[in-house]
Amino acid sequence: MHQHHMIRRAVENDETSVKELAVVNNMFGVDELDDFVTMFRGALNGELEGHQWYVMVDPDNRVVAAAYVAPEPFADRLWNLSFLAVDPGRHGRGAGSRLIEHVEGLLRDAGEGAARVLIVETSSTDEYANAREFYRARGFDEEARIRDFYGPGDSKVVFWKAMTE
């Protein structure tokens, strides 16, 4: 299905579509959208050095999935995939997997000097059970849990994957 879907670097015109993906997937509340916009624009305009947004578009150039990856400050070649969202009507059809594979490929192709580890952080709540299973199925190991990080009963779950063979 996705053979005609292209993955490319995000551009300014993608902002609204990516923001809609974040909201429809309950990743950000309306009150958090300012932070999201800062993250998006900062990566595109170079203010956030090394931060990269990628989108998957359908044949009509509509954004159907998006990913955001950035190097972690104060860490040795560790990258954080801090955003991955797919149009809910396309969940389970390979778009998220293709985006992760694309990001991993870019990090690996950059050589050992660029990326050693990729992490993903998500919530421990039942609402995110599918997300946790998604990352496990793609070779990520659950590395840590920080209790009550997002709020009472909502821990941060950190997944880890080596980017070097």
pLDDT digits (tens, 9 = 90+) for 129-158: 999 999 999 999 999 999 999 999 999 999
Q: Whole-angstrom Cα distance, residue 143 to residue 90?
A: 28
Position 29 pLDDT exceeds 80:
no
Report the CATH architecture of 2-162: 3-Layer(aba) Sandwich (3.40)
> Which sequence spans correspond to the domains of the chain?
2-162
